[in-house]
């Protein structure tokens, strides 16, 4: 079999296609690179690793300069990635750039999680690279990862990361007010850290308990689960009185704000350090505590 001529013809065909077409370029290129990668894989097994260098020398002259040895190895890696995942490149919604960001991952469950996030959140290559760098999968609760593997139904609190990453470039002393301000300055990132479907309602949301006003640090709403979400910020370790405080706020909202067609309010305490013993003895399973981590 003349592997080189097949490879050359496929690459020339793709060069012509992307020059003439204004649509489907990405998918056509992906399929071409997959097919070339398959041929390179077979040629390598038949003739040895040096075949990459030999083919590249001719392709840069006869087709285009970009087909250097590194590019050809990436095509072969692309083919091997699809084979490992038992996927077909036909009809995939992933771009080549997305797939290359996934090359560094060895855990198939982790790969599947990030692929889901690409489609659900419409992530760019840069956004995907960032959540991989920030170990988003590793920061999910172990129970959530199991649900992902088994394709079980998820709950609203399943995808809240721990620790929750908060970016800070200018504040030295972190108080609860400062933490709130940092979060508000990058509210979109904060909502992503909590999971899907969260929208911002108001900071310092006032509620009147008895004859005095209290203020909820952050009030959110989750569209997917049709419920309000109370966020309380603590720069100390979790204490039992924090549970009592957020319960009061949640109960108030359920009595005074929640409509009949809405689900019960959820509470998230974001603190300096979790205390699993306190959460273990909290009878209200709508409340969770998650640590936060400040990064530059």
Alpha-carbon gap, residue 28 to 101, rounded angstroms? 19
pLDDT of residue 148: 86
Say yes or no to pLDDT of 138 above 70. Answer: yes
Q: What is the pLDDT of residues 204-249, one digit of tens each?
A: 999 998 889 999 999 999 999 999 999 999 999 999 999 999 999 9
The answer to whether the pTM exceeds 0.75 is yes
**Does 21 have pLDDT greater than 70?**
no
pLDDT: is 277 or 129 the higher one? 129
- Asked whether the predicted pLDDT for residue 172 surpasses 60, the reply is yes
Q: Is 295 exposed, middle or buried (0-12, 13-18, 19+ CB in 10 A)?
A: exposed
Residue 198 pLDDT > 60, yes or no?
yes
pLDDT at 22: 65
Residue 18: pLDDT over 90: no
Among the four given CATH numbers 3.40.1350.10, 3.40.50.720, 3.90.1410.10, 3.40.50.300, the one describing domain 152-295: 3.40.1350.10
C-alpha atoms less than 13 angstroms from C-alpha of 252 in its C-beta half-sphere = 19
- Cα four-point dihedral sign 142, 146, 147, 151: positive
Above 60 in pLDDT, residue 23?
Answer: no
Give the residue-averaged pLDDT of 160-176: 91
Locate 41 and state its tokens: 């894989």
pLDDT of the residue at 152:
87
How many of the other CB atoms lie within 10 Å of CB of 55? 23
Chain segment 63-119, per-residue pLDDT in tens: 999 999 999 999 999 999 999 999 988 878 888 999 999 999 999 999 999 999 998
Confidence band, pLDDT 50/70/90 cuts, at residue 24? low
Position 161 scores a pLDDT of 94
**Mean pLDDT of all residues belonging to the chain:** 92
Gyration radius of the chain's alpha carbons = 25
């Amino acid at each position: 079999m003349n592997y080189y001529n097949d490879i050359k013809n496929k690459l020339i065909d793709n060069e012509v296609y992307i020059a003439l077409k204004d649509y489907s370029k990405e998918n056509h290129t992906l399929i071409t690179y997959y097919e070339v990668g398959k041929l390179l894989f077979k040629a390598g097994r038949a003739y040895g690793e040096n075949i990459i260098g030999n083919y590249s020398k001719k392709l840069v002259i006869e087709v285009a300069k970009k087909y250097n040895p590194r590019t050809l190895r990436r095509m072969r890696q692309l083919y091997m990635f699809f084979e490992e995942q038992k996927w077909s490149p036909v009809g995939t919604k992933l771009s080549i750039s997305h797939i290359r960001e996934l090359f560094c991952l060895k855990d198939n469950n982790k790969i599947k999680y990030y692929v889901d996030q690409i489609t659900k959140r419409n992530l760019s290559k840069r956004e995907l690279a960032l959540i991989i760098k920030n170990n988003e999968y590793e920061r999910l609760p172990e129970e959530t990862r199991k649900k992902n593997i088994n394709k079980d139904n998820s709950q609203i609190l399943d995808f809240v990361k721990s620790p929750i990453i908060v970016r800070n470039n200018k504040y030295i002393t972190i108080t609860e007010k400062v933490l709130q301000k940092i979060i508000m300055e990058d509210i979109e990132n904060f909502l992503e850290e909590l999971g899907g479907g969260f929208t911002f309602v108001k900071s310092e949301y006032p509620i009147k308990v008895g004859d005095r006003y209290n203020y909820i640090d952050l009030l959110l709403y989750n569209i997917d689960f049709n419920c309000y979400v109370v966020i309380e910020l603590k720069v100390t370790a979790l204490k039992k009185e924090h549970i009592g405080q957020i319960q009061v706020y949640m109960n108030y909202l359920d009595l005074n704000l929640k409509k009949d067609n809405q689900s019960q309010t959820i509470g998230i305490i974001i603190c300096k350090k979790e205390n699993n013993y306190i959460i273990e003895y909290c009878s209200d399973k709508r409340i969770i505590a998650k640590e936060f981590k400040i990064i530059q």
